[in-house]
Structure 1
């Protein structure tokens, strides 16, 4: 049986680390694409040389073009600029729209049946660009944000309670940013409500706030650069769920067609991920506070979508 094929666009920290996780899990052969000459080739060769040590048997190829990406099953897009000092939000949006639109056009032409996973920011808006440019059905275009945000929340809760991270279940919904919505009613410790363990609302609120600022906290510590281990791991978990048809339930940014009362935006909601991509959107019952926070988040995502340049 032919091995699966994964293209990762962008060989920076997120893309190269995604290639590392995917190779270690032997999810399929990997093509690492970047515009910088020599960089994807060098990182791919380095990863190939780790194979005898780590014991994985997949092929990793680096390239500056898209020929090698043909026939990919999954494409993870990490390319895009980080906001530089003095750069307006509008400049960043325009530049990243141009980059993501170009990448999407190139990969869609070579792999018309691929499932696209976007990691480029602003996340939900760039997913919208991908869907418009590719013309793919919504099942096959999605964004990685909720898994990362949920992982951060679960991490902080596990640290606070001194329990194994596997025992913490949660869902963080909404747009990827300060308006994300951790669903406390769906947060448990091995099936028991989180409020059994953390009774002080202020403590819980502090962890919610830390989750919202999770990316910023890392940027502040690193000084130059941003998070890449957890974001790349989250994108690869999505790819794995698709390639292995795991039917995983996870929060994913997906195109809304009336679910949760939202339309024509990409938004983080719980879905079932399998071989068909987004196989089902799950509508969680929300309490009044969660509903209000979700609507606030949706308004922020809609505003960014409205600021996108015409495609």
Structure 2
């Protein structure tokens, strides 16, 4: 039985390097290998991270190449063309599909056993691209999905209610992007459903407030990109959370992107939905109850992504 753990990171840009730093701080893996076309940048970050080992957790951090994927538990892919100001995630599609074609071929030359964790946008489309190109079972190809969107959603709800975001339980599902679906029907705070609270209650969230929270959640990336050029802190934390759930076999329920078959009538597309994440990757998709409107929105999100997938031959 394997007693050590290893992550290979492909892509050492803003997201990748922040993920590497987060992994160092969290200390849940024995070895981290960084692969990037800019080897000097990767080596600089590797040295910088190693210089902090005395102040963090023992682990091995190196710069490597695709051969290092051979014994990796997880290969995290953050490489790709960055989203430009004013550009939607879907606009990234064709450029990043070409990049992924090269990356996946090099990974599969050395391993067919690792779990692939995709963060590059548009993440749901590229998760499906990685699934098809790799030939891996669907349980071992996972996208970051709507975990980040759900974190943004919970933060905004918590701000409205004046509570700790960790006390808010709710999810955004569907596409990580413009057609994402906030699941208001099951949003809860300490077991209480704001949806069912009287209109004069401080715990009630009215339709106008819902729309504001939804638009802020959906538009968060655009706002951040406009102000500083890229988003990387929260997505790095999201990736680290997924990796920790896998390596520690936590069986955590997280809204990750995976290939759906018969989920609320959806087939043949990768979307973010609540799933049990553990040592084998995606252990099980969780049947989340939805209102009629939420189900329609989720199906519309799936149809949108299917259309784009057909255009690129996937």
TM-score range for the pair, normalised by the shorter chain length: over 0.9
- 1:165 is the counterpart of 2:177: no
Show structure 1 runs of 4+ deviating over 6 A: 85-91
Matches within 5 A, 1:112-191: 112-191=112-191
Unmatched 5+ stretches in structure 1: none
Could you tell me which residue of structure 2 aligns to residue 202 of structure 1? 208
1:248-271 Cα offsets, whole Å, 9 max, x none, are 011111001222211111111111
* Correspondence for 1:263: 267
- Secondary structure at 1:110 match in 2: coil
Question: What is the aligned partner in structure 2 of residue 104 from structure 1?
Answer: 104
Separation in structure 2 between the aligned mates of residue 152 and residue 98 of structure 1, nearest angstrom: 30
Inter-CA distance 186–108: structure 2 relative to 1 (3 Å threshold): farther
Task: Indicate conservation of the 8 Å contact 1:97/1:309, yes or no.
Answer: no
Check the 8 A contact 1:125/1:308 in 2, yes or no.
Answer: no
Cα distance per residue 1:48-70 (max 9 Å; x no partner): 101112x310011123x212332
Partner of 2:28: 27
CA drift of 1:89 comes to 8.4
For residues 29-83 of structure 1, the C-alpha deviation after alignment (integer angstroms, 9 at most, x for no partner) is: 1011100121111101100101112x310011123x2123321001110011024
Match of 1:248 among 252, 263, 272: 252
CA distance in 1, matches of 2:35, 2:112: 17
Please say which of residues 198-207 and 122-131 is displaced more in the overlay: 198-207
8 Å CA contact retained: 1:198, 1:204: no
Aligned to 2:290: 286
Aligned to 1:15: 16
Please name the residue that 2:200 is paired with: none
Q: Aligned in 2, Cα 1:237/1:89: closer, same or farther, shift over 3 Å?
A: closer
Alpha-carbon RMSD across the aligned residues, in angstroms, is: 1.9
Pairs aligned (count): 306
Q: Deviations over 1:180-210 (max 9, x none)?
A: 0010112111221123313422112210111
Aligned to 2:109, the other structure's residue is in SS state: helix
Cα distance change on mapping 1:90 and 1:286 into 2, 3 Å: closer
CA distance in 1, matches of 2:310, 2:181: 22
TM-score (norm: length of structure 2): 0.92
